[in-house]
Amino acid sequence: MKQLILLCMMTLFLFGADINSTLVHADAKTYESLLATLKKSQIHNDETALQKALLYKIINITKYPPKPPSFDIRVQNQEDFEQLVQKTIQFINESFEKKSTLQHLQQKQQTLKEEILGENNNSKLFTLQLQYTFYTKALRTLKEELNKRETIFGKQITPLLLRSIQTISFDQNKLQKRVSQIEQDLDSVQKKIEAKEVEKERLELLGRKDRVKNIEQSLALLQKEKRKLLEKKLITLFDLYTIALQKKETKTVFNLQKKILDLAKILNDPHTVKRLKTLLTKLNVQILGKGETIKGATLQHIKEAANLLWDKLNSPLFMINQTPISTLKLFITLLILIFGYLLGVLYKKSIQKLAQNSHSITPSTKTLLSNIGYYTIVIVAFVITLNVLGIDLSSIALIAGALSVGIGFGLQNIVSNFVSGLIFDV
């Protein structure tokens, strides 16, 4: 009877170029029977070897599914809490990796389905059906695990973090000193990395491949050390964030949250950072309350937007003599020029008004004073704008010096005419 079932099953997937749902939903005994039939077969080639290998994998995943995820940890002190935070981030990372694997498997399954529908070779069709079966079972297992992970995260990890934040005591001074020490160590490691990279470039130019390989190994160790320090800093910042939550210092909470997320972006993928941000928001809501969380988040967003705008305004648009010119510099120079012009106009009007009220000031004196003051103010404003732009004024000083020498020797008439023009300019 069993042999008849197996024969019918093999006939079904060999002659029908479609997904064999009977094979997909079969139990381990059926797969074992199929494997035994293949072993007794007189056909021995790569295709049958692949079919046997696939059946072994199908039997294994059917009989021995992966152990369900667990998250068992007891938190009694600061050290336990730090392990909890570390395991939480690791748990988030693993969940994302499994989601990526799930998506990859779904894409492969779809490709395989298209191959099955277009395949006419019976032997290869059997192999494709087995491979599709394996993918289906692997996907089912992954989905079940991800669902369990979501349950663990929502009902176990988040409440455990909340309880720990409310009960664990921390030494803030020691944590701040630890952060300072970590930053010093990071600076030291970074300098070593840069020195090794410079040495590597020299050795590459000399063609010393063996020594270059040693340098690369040293660089790998230094990068590993740097990552450990960054992870340690992240955990320490989380401790300080927890203290701020305990004290309900909203501003400090969101400042530290930003530092945590910025550091997480260096160490993890964007999806993990997004999940971590969601977790921090939940903790903020539970401890600070919705109102304070919204207020703090709004202020943080405004601050981030302001910083982003400031960075964009300060980003160079072009260069003048190797001096970067930014939008902000152009805007400031424009304001200075406008202010200088308006101040010059105001000065002119003040002199004219003063001359009208005073009989001792002649019209020519009035015109001379107003024009000289006006041009002086405009020139000073122009020089200030050049200084704001960062343009070297030494060349302008040289030109001014040359002009003064020229005036002394041969430009008396030109200057005299210019002054006359100022006097008669009504």
Task: Answer yes or no: do 273 and 346 share one domain.
Answer: no
What CATH number should be reported for the domain holding residue 334? 1.10.287.1260
Q: Which residues contact 339 (CB under 8 A, 6 or more apart)?
A: 381
Residues 355 and 387 in one domain: yes
171-182 tens-digit pLDDT: 999 999 999 999
Domain count along the chain: 3
The DSSP 8-state label assigned to residue 121 in this structure reads -
Which is nearest to 165 in space by CA: 91, 243, 89, 249? 243
Structural domain range at position 245:
156-320
The more confident residue out of 382 and 178 is 178
What pLDDT, in 10s, does the model give residues 50-63? 989 999 999 999 98
Residue range 336-354: average pLDDT?
83
Query: How far apart are the C-alpha atoms of 75 and 89, rounded to whole Å?
Result: 16
Distance, first Cα to last Cα, the chain = 121
> With bands split at pLDDT 50, 70 and 90, how would you rate the model's confidence at 399?
low
Yes or no: say if 378 and 340 are a contact pair by the CB < 8 Å rule. yes
Biggest CA pair distance of the chain: 132
Per-residue pLDDT, 159: 92
Higher-pLDDT residue of 45 and 423 is 45
pLDDT digit string, tens, across residues 294-321: 877 777 667 666 766 777 777 777 777 6
Which tokens go with 251?
A: 């501003």
Contacts of 325 (CB under 8 A, 6+ apart): 316, 317, 318, 319, 389, 390
Based on the fold, state whether residues 144 and 192 are members of the same structural domain.
no
* Domain match, 292 and 349 both: no
As a whole-number percent, the residues of the chain with pLDDT over 90 amount to 46
> Distance of CA 346 to CAs 183, 350, 368, 370, 397, Å?
55, 6, 15, 10, 28
| DSSP H stretches of helix in 326-411 | 327-357, 363-389, 394-409
Tokens describing residue 347:
């000065």
- 199 in the same domain as 146: no
User: Do residues 289 and 175 both lie within one domain?
Assistant: yes
In terms of phi and psi (left: phi > 0; alpha: psi -120 to 50; beta: otherwise), the region of 346 is alpha
**Is there a single domain that holds both residue 191 and residue 336?**
no
Give yes or no: residues 313 and 286 share one domain: yes
Domain boundary among 135, 150, 165: 150
Both 97 and 203 in a single domain?
no
pLDDT of residue 413: 55
Final residue belonging to a domain, choices 320, 346, 367: 320
Q: Which two tokens stand for residue 58?
A: 């199908």
Same structural domain for residues 305 and 174?
yes
- Closest Cα partner for 33 from 57, 63, 55? 55
The answer on 144 and 163 residing in a single domain is no
| Residue type, position 65, single letter | P
**Residue 223 belongs to what H/E stretch?**
helix 209-247
β-strand partners of 325: 318
